């Protein structure tokens, strides 16, 4: 029995401009885990309340935890307590399959549940499989789907896609291995590697800023830009993920993926078309142009740090080595700052500084373009020395917006100039709440738009850049500096800019 025509939507009109996805079953592997309950289920609840899910939709959770359908439904409701009535209605039909991923029986039971849902809800055989498990299980799940034939669309008009969470490998070799394992079961066009930073509206706005405005692009190059800085700062520590973080560290957790994606969008050439091919071709070209240093050179252009006990928002917090699940002698980095070079016509000679850290004073993600000074300052003397060069700041979070720092005359008789700010704030300009990154990406996966997902060659290239730095850390060629929680990282990070007239951020 079909309860509604395919494509018919439920609930209110889309708030964020997302049109209803086609009929689908979303299968979440790792459904009892942290990612599912903290991010995926709330994002689905958000989509439901925007009317961006079709009526012909269901979620099937799969995990080792021995829940029943009802227990999973309860968790779904609890994970989005503020959700709309459309979510409550939807969650009441969610299904759950308990089982080991290495057991063929799990996939046989899953196939039965999927067939049931197709019959009852008219989901048309369309599947998005979401790998929210521990990374060790990725290949096993893909193999299990293939062995039961679930990796192939059930008809010429249906689709079967696999969404893969990070970490995508732990270095280049393991990423290549994972890729060939997944490609035993899915083709590249059906593999959707997720980087939730690409789902953030303000990350996408980098494209609009650069390529929809005549004023910025002409100065977006080495002739005008003196240096580029990207910061991804978090005030949170490792929370309850100490065990995971011990094997990741800031380089793998943030730089290899989120940071490289933000850098690629900021520095790439204009794409001919804003679609999956156009954007991803340009991103990978940029990543290929980032110099891959030798291990020695990498060691000389990176700072690694680890937080010690300190204070965040006036409350004392423990050091990294005292966190649950962390080795008391751990040398895992919670902070990285590094200098990169882009060897292409546009950026030759422009240093690119990136830094990320946990337990920094605030949550802040921003890109700063620092422009050259004007060639001659007619005002002379102290003023010439005090006036800062122009800076353009793209603030990704929080308070997303754009700020241009430039010089203006101070009112009065004397000709004095100081730096002032021109601000654009998203919240002020657009009243509509913006879709959360996971909402946008889940929706795109169902629609089949891969533009904001990461292609295999991008992942490989990002590992190629990061691997020498990882090797330098493993060889202990980079001392582990410490910083008290609640400070901006080790002092050594400032030394990366020695010889330049600026430090981190905007003066």
Least distance between ligand BG6 and beta carbon 106 (Å): 27
Least distance between ligand BG6 and beta carbon 113 (Å): 30
Crossing angle for the helix pair 260-267 and 276-289, nearest 10 degrees? Answer: 100
User: Is residue 179 near ligand BG6 by the rule CB under 6 A?
Assistant: no
User: Is residue 234 near ligand BG6 by the rule CB under 6 A?
Assistant: yes
- For ligand BG6, the closer CB: 166 or 283: 166
Q: How many residues does the chain have?
A: 507
258 is catalytic: yes
- For ligand BG6, the closer CB: 240 or 500: 240
- For ligand BG6, the closer CB: 234 or 439: 234
Please count the residues of this chain forming the interface with ligand BG6, following the rule CB under 6 A: 2
Tell me the CA distances in angstroms from 382 to 288, 347, 379, 419, one per residue in order.
Answer: 43, 31, 9, 14
- For ligand BG6, the nearest residue by Cβ is 253
Q: Which residues contact 374 (CB under 8 A, 6 or more apart)?
A: none
CB contact at 8 A, 102 and 141: no
Least distance between ligand BG6 and beta carbon 459 (Å): 14
Categorise residue 45: left if φ over 0, alpha if ψ from -120 to 50, beta otherwise.
alpha
- For ligand BG6, the closer CB: 244 or 502: 244
- For ligand BG6, the closer CB: 165 or 179: 165
3-state secondary structure of 478: coil
Per-residue x/- mask for ligand BG6, residues 248 to 287, rule CB under 6 A? -----x----------------------------------
User: Is residue 444 near ligand BG6 by the rule CB under 6 A?
Assistant: no
Could you give the CA distance from residue 349 to residue 370 in angstroms, rounded to a whole number?
A: 14
Least distance between ligand BG6 and beta carbon 226 (Å): 27
CB contact at 8 A, 91 and 76: yes
CB contact at 8 A, 437 and 200: yes
CA 393 to chain centre: 19
- For ligand BG6, the closer CB: 251 or 456: 251
Sheet holding 335-341, edge to edge: 417-425, 401-409, 391-397, 364-371, 225-233, 351-357, 335-341, 302-308, 480-484
Least distance between ligand BG6 and beta carbon 263 (Å): 15
Catalytic residue among 24, 170, 247, 258: 258
CB contact at 8 A, 291 and 340: yes
Least distance between ligand BG6 and beta carbon 134 (Å): 13
Which of these, 487, 123, 139, lies nearest to 334 by C-alpha position? 487
Least distance between ligand BG6 and beta carbon 253 (Å): 5
Tell me the CA distances in angstroms from 254 to 146, 166, 233, 290, one per residue in order.
Answer: 31, 10, 10, 17
- For ligand BG6, the closer CB: 124 or 135: 135
Which of these, 291, 288, 311, lies nearest to 301 by C-alpha position? 291
Supply the residues annotated as catalytic: 258
Q: In the complex, which residues of this chain contact ligand BG6 (CB under 6 A)?
A: 234, 253
């Amino acid at each position: 029995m079909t309860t509604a025509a395919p494509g018919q939507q439920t609930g209110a009109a889309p708030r964020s401009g997302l049109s209803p996805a086609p009929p689908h079953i979303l299968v979440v592997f790792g459904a009892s885990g942290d990612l599912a309950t903290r991010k995926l289920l709330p994002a689905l609840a958000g989509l439901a309340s925007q009317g961006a899910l079709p009526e012909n939709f269901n979620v099937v959770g799969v995990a080792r935890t021995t829940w029943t359908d009802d227990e999973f439904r309860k968790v779904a409701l609890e994970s989005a307590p503020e959700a709309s009535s459309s979510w409550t209605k939807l969650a009441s039909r969610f299904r759950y399959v308990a089982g080991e991923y290495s057991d063929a029986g799990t996939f046989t039971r899953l196939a039965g549940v999927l067939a049931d849902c197709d019959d009852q809800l008219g989901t048309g055989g369309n599947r998005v499989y979401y790998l929210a498990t521990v990374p060790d299980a990725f290949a096993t799940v893909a193999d299990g789907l293939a062995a039961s034939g679930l990796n192939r669309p059930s008809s010429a008009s249906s689709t079967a896609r696999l969404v893969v969470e990070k970490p995508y490998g732990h270095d280049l070799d393991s990423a290549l291995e994972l890729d060939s394992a997944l490609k035993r079961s899915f083709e590249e066009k059906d593999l959707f590697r997720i980087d939730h930073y690409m789902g953030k509206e303000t990350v996408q706005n980098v494209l609009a800023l650069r390529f929809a405005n005549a004023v910025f692009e002409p100065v977006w190059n080495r002739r005008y830009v003196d240096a580029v800085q990207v910061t991804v700062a978090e005030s949170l520590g490792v929370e309850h993920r100490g065990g995971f973080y011990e094997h990741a560290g800031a380089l793998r957790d943030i730089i290899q993926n989120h940071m490289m994606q933000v850098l690629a969008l900021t520095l790439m050439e204009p794409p001919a078309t804003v679609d999956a091919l156009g954007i991803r071709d340009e991103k990978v070209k940029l990543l290929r142009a980032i110099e891959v240093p030798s291990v020695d050179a990498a060691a000389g252009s990176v700072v690694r740090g680890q937080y010690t006990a300190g204070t965040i928002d006036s409350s004392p917090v423990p050091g990294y080595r005292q966190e649950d699940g962390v080795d008391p002698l751990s040398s895992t980095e919670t902070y990285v700052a590094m200098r990169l070079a882009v060897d292409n016509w546009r950026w030759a000679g422009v240093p690119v500084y990136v830094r990320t850290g946990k337990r920094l004073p605030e949550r802040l993600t921003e890109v700063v373009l620092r422009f050259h000074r004007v060639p001659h300052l007619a005002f002379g003397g102290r003023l010439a020395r005090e006036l800062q060069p122009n800076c353009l700041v793209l603030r990704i979070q929080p308070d997303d917006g754009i700020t241009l720092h430039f010089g203006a005359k101070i009112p009065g008789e004397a000709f004095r100039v100081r730096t002032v700010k021109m601000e654009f704030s998203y919240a002020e300009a657009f009243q509509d709440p913006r879709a959360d990154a996971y909402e946008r990406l889940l929706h795109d996966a169902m629609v089949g738009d891969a533009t904001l997902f990461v292609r295999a060659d991008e992942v490989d290239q990002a590992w190629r850049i990061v691997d020498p730095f990882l090797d330098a850390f493993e060889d202990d060629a980079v001392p582990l500096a410490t910083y008290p929680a609640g400070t901006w990282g080790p002092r050594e990070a400032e030394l990366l800019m020695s010889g330049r007239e600026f430090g981190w951020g905007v003066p």
